[in-house]
Amino acid sequence: MIRKKKCIAMLLAGGQGSRLYALTNNIAKPAVSFGGKYRIIDFPLSNCVNSGIDTVGVLTQYQPLILNSYIGNGQPWDLDREFGGVHTLPPYQGKNSSDWYKGTANAIYQNLPFINQYNPDYVLILSGDHVYKMNYAIMLNYHILNDADCTIAAINVPIEEASRFGILNTNENGSIYQFEEKPKNPKSTLASMGIYIFSTKKLEKYLIEDSKDPNSSNDFGKDILPKMLLDGQKMMAYNFKGYWKDVGTIDSLFDANMDLLGDNPKFDVGDLAWKIQSRSPLAPPHYIGVGAKTFNSIIMSGCEVFGVVENSILASNVIIKKGAVVKNSILMGDVIIEQDAKIEYSIIDEGTIVKKGAIIGESKEKGKGITLLGRNIQISENSIIKGGEIVEKDLVKGGI
């Protein structure tokens, strides 16, 4: 008897994430830290396991070292399976050729052998740069009940943001009659979430045809989906009602992190019925020193706080020294803020040290935006970095 899976997931995690600037200079976007405890990829991986999908191919390409190491054997997400589990799938050299992934569709096409070894009835395709909780099993049932060839998860967005997304125009029964990729004048606000379920045979057919088209950009939104619509395939929109955020920009990443704060957060990651798992670093309990002040903040293990922390998120092993003030900011792992430094509306990447008396960022009321400090750099004493500035290398003295 041939062993098979009903549905497997293919997670597109190879994008460069250029709109995150210094945060993705050396790591893939799905490996970026989020919420103190997590990395972005934790959300689709946890969603898969919570939805009963135990076979996930993670398609990597850009700066995969940290991401691959983080995923490991998949044990934190219960994806260390004998038949199935999580597999990282980089581009590879075949007998006749070797190609980087040319687009989202080409990435899946190159991994058809991986898909076919599980003989699945359905393939779930996910993006690695979204933060949300979603039961894919409900979406799969919707796909099956509608006897669809392709189902696209969709969410309503503000009309002023609609041109950033692929927009679905649907009939009353949810069937899609038009797909517009980032239209200048959108006809609706129903945006594709970049989450697709395909019946496997139809997916394979269209991927093979697309691979033979020299004029194709090998992309789902630009090529595969429009071609399926043109051919009259049954395509359905699955309307998602929960929290979902594309964290592909500095502002959206900052906002999504801030949505974790408050007594009634917009995005609750503490739901025991839908756990978001992660590979957390080993660290001792955090410590709040005598005279330190903390308010409305997430402070992870290994942190030492001797100054002031307000409305902020501190990942593991962050040190805030006496007299330092951190407000409305995100500090990733192993950051050190030295004595009397001031941090406001900033994102500081892993391993960075801000020296004594430095002033980083400024209040949002001044309209300058989020300040970003890159990974493993040092900011010298008494430096002044204004709101909205991006620093990617050591600032030895002076300011920007």
Strands 130-132 and 244-246: antiparallel
The whole-angstrom separation of Cα 103 and Cα 116 is 20
Minimal CA–CA distance to 128: which of 69, 180, 56, 80? 56
Write down the pLDDT at residue 16.
67
pLDDT tens-digit series, residues 106-115: 999 999 999 9
Instruction: Say which DSSP state 280 is in.
Output: P
Minimal CA–CA distance to 20: which of 267, 331, 254, 329? 254
More confident residue, 393 or 356: 356
261 CB-near residues (< 8 Å, 6+ apart): 296, 297, 298, 311, 313
pLDDT tens-digit series, residues 251-293: 999 999 999 999 999 999 999 999 999 998 889 999 999 999 9
Give this prediction's pTM. Answer: 0.93
Give the rounded percent of residues in the chain with a pLDDT score beyond 70: 95
Q: Is the pLDDT of residue 1 over 70?
A: no
Over range 240-244, report the average pLDDT: 95
The whole-angstrom separation of Cα 270 and Cα 272 is 6
Minimal CA–CA distance to 352: which of 373, 369, 370? 373
120 CB-near residues (< 8 Å, 6+ apart): 4, 5, 6, 7, 8, 55, 200
